[in-house]
Amino acid sequence: MRHANKIEASPPQYVGGGGATIAAAAAAAREASRMPEAGVREKFVEDHARLRGKAEVCECIALRILRGDEDLGSALLLKGEEIRDHLVRHMDWEERELLPLLRQSGRSDIASGLVTRHTRHREHFEGNLLSLHNTKTQPIELTKHIVEFLRQLECDMQREEEDVLGALNPGPGRNAG
């Protein structure tokens, strides 16, 4: 007797039910593997600081190019790609760890704002901004775009910090203010 045949013989309408059970189990596993709130808050702040450090270096290079040091074009794009890759990982992490916390805290408004800003960043990346493979844009125009992008990134991180740090529990021994 082969029990496996029973599964194969199941009518299609039961597939959805099984899928729902698997989805619920996966959601429970994700829930169990999430970082604690204080850990999310700490990593959020640290990651923004690391992104800022990279963005400052990138902007310095860009401003030198705009003052005439065009030999720095490759250095700018290498740094830009580094920021892009870091930001992609950071946004993925925020969406995985931070969004559920915000929604559980009843702050879907803040979660929506975060998603909107992330969508805007991803659209920039699809346009090959911050990429060595961008051969369509003139170097000076690309440099100006990068400066604009970095300033927008800083504004967005400040806004995120105001929203998120106000909404998350600061953890034991720390004051919200």
Residues at the interface with Fe ion (CB under 5 A): 160
Q: How far is the CB of 54 from Fe ion (least distance, A)?
A: 13
CB of 60 to Fe ion, least distance (A): 22
Q: Which is nearer to Fe ion, 105 or 137 (CB)?
A: 105
Instruction: Give all strands (DSSP E) within the chain, no chain letters.
Output: none
Q: How far is the CB of 87 from Fe ion (least distance, A)?
A: 8
**Nearest to residue 160, comparing CAs of 35, 54, 51?**
51
**Cβ distance to Fe ion smaller for residue 46 or 141:** 46
Torsion angles phi and psi, residue 126, rounded to 5: -65, -30
CB of 154 to Fe ion, least distance (A): 11
Q: Name the residue nearer to Fe ion (CB basis): 48 or 65.
A: 48
Q: Which is nearer to Fe ion, 65 or 107 (CB)?
A: 107
SS3 39: helix
Supply the DSSP string of 70-101, one letter for each residue. GGGHHHHHHHHHHHHHHHHHHHHHIIIIIHHH
Residue nearest to Fe ion (CB): 160
H or E segment and range at residue 123: helix 108-126
